Amino acid sequence: MTRFAARCPAAAHAFAATLDDDVTLDGASGHHLSRVRRLRSGELVTVADGNGTWRPYTVTVVRSGAVELHAGGERVVEPRLEPALAVAFALTKGAKPDLAVQKLTELGVDRIVPLQSRRSVPRWGSDRAGAAVARLRRVAVEAAAQSRRARLPEVDAPRPLTDLHGHPGLVVADPAGDDVGRVPSPPEGEWMLVIGPEGGLDPDEIANLGAPARLRIGPHVLRAETAAIAGAAILTTHRATPRDHPR
Amino acid sequence: MTRFAARCPAAAHAFAATLDDDVTLDGASGHHLSRVRRLRSGELVTVADGNGTWRPYTVTVVRSGAVELHAGGERVVEPRLEPALAVAFALTKGAKPDLAVQKLTELGVDRIVPLQSRRSVPRWGSDRAGAAVARLRRVAVEAAAQSRRARLPEVDAPRPLTDLHGHPGLVVADPAGDDVGRVPSPPEGEWMLVIGPEGGLDPDEIANLGAPARLRIGPHVLRAETAAIAGAAILTTHRATPRDHPR
């Protein structure tokens, strides 16, 4: 049995609270599968609980806006990649947080940490931050369904960059930084990639973080969302499932 | 002297046909620098010829829609990273070619190869391909200015995937593929990363390419533009300037 739903030749992937033998998907998933994907009885669907377990199902009934499913196999636990990977990026107007969250989710990032900065746009003010985070979580669910992840990334509440001072496993993008091969393994099992407001951090800001590792992505200036996506892609190549170890 | 304009603390970066001692920027660049960036006399600007050479300038006169510049230093040749990196991706409706070209340009990709496929959208038909490629080239120029590249990426005319059969240095994204460290150096100095219509290629399509290297990006399903961006970011970490060799 393949351990990633991505390698299952399924027609669609969705999330449900439980993975019982019989599952009914309604709401946004049910609408998507019945109306947009136009699933038919007998088709294969993989369903995940968002917490790392997925299961293959067969469509039994299609109604308007809902599909009923019956299990076609056992539950499978998707391996975690190690070390875990968190990406923290500043929520400025130009940072395209939706795009970043979509791509980071496809790439398998475990945790997304929105950072407040002096240049943050007003909707990230404290009173509206809840709605904004809820929106990013919806983007993550859609991207996880599209990329057939079994585990949803966590999307934290916004916090200031200074909160990350001394955080273990910090990595900042830096054109003068190190090859990924020289970025040390994180001491507590999680890399925290930090992306500044314009895709880089000032020397002062880096010093304020403590002594983070510095990852070289390329010699040019990167937009914030590009630095986040590229940095995550590069670090992900140095992650592995436990079964793959030792590398 | 730094060799990349990105490391020059310049206020802006633009392209001009020649890098004479006195340069006038008008057209889109002149508008951007005078009206959007609102440059003032005495400010620093870097100007590149798009072919690998750049030079620092000082603003002498700002007119409506144009800026006049005088050289403030010598010409600098931006090193090429080796091996060269080309990225070929299918131009389907969902592939977001503008986004891919913007990000690939920021990341330093040397050549972008649009691929026609059965699922290509109508504007990539032969009669309209010229206008579509011109559009992608404008996106590349804007991204190169933003990321302060001295060398513009080439954007080829669209061609069918089958044209790449046996091309040296082919690399395809494959969840079951190799670590980037095991992707061989390209025999003719250029990697050609190939991204299929849905971010992956069918086994038949891969077989039709010959025996390409297979690069593992991650265990999940990637959208086409995500696979292009992530694959380019990963391969770029294994490129270097000649001065950096041996690695």
The CATH number of A84-244, from 2.60.40.420, 3.30.530.20, 2.60.120.10, 3.40.1280.10, is 3.40.1280.10
Tokens of A102: 């979509």
Which neighbouring-strand residues pair with B112? Answer: B87, B155
Average pLDDT over residues A58-82: 95
Out of B81, B146, B234, the one facing A234 most closely (by C-beta) is: B234
ipTM over 0.85: yes
Give yes or no for residue A124 having a pLDDT over 50.
Answer: yes
pLDDT of residue B211: 85
Tokens of B149: 């590249």
Q: What CATH number was assigned to the domain covering residues B5-77?
A: 2.40.240.20
Q: Please check whether the two domains, A5-77 and A84-244, share a CATH topology.
A: no
Q: What is the pLDDT of residues B33-48, one digit of tens each?
A: 999 999 999 999 999 9
B73 and chain A: CB distance < 8 Å anywhere? Answer: no
Contact B152, B54 (CB under 8 A): no
A151 and chain B: CB distance < 8 Å anywhere? Answer: no
Q: Is A53 exposed, middle or buried (0-12, 13-18, 19+ CB in 10 A)?
A: middle
pLDDT of residue B99: 93
Higher pLDDT, A211 or A192: A192
Rounded to a whole number of angstroms, the distance from the CA of A14 to the nearest CA of chain B is 14
Q: What is the 3-state secondary structure (H, E, C) of A167-228?
A: CCCEEEEEEEEECHHHCCCCCCCEEEEEECCCCCCCHHHHHHCCCCEEECCCCCCCCHHHHH
Nearest to A176 by CA among B228, B244, B82: B244
Q: H helices within A2-114, ranges in order?
A: 27-31, 97-106
Q: Where are the domains of chain A?
A: 5-77, 84-244
Confidence of residue A139 (pLDDT cuts 50, 70, 90): very high
Confidence of residue B94 (pLDDT cuts 50, 70, 90): low
Confidence of residue B125 (pLDDT cuts 50, 70, 90): low
Query: pTM of the prediction?
Result: 0.91
Confidence of residue A118 (pLDDT cuts 50, 70, 90): low
Q: Which residues does chain A have within 8 Å of residue B241's beta carbon, measured at their own beta carbons?
A: 219
Most confident of A94-103, B101-110, B193-202: B101-110
Out of B175, B179, B229, the one facing A230 most closely (by C-beta) is: B229
Which neighbouring-strand residues pair with A24? Answer: A68
B207 SS3 class: helix
The percent of residues in chain A predicted with pLDDT above 70, rounded, is 88
Higher pLDDT, A145 or A4: A145
pLDDT of residue B199: 55
pLDDT of residue B80: 93
pLDDT of residue B1: 46
- Residue B163's CB is within 10 A of a number of other CB atoms, namely 13
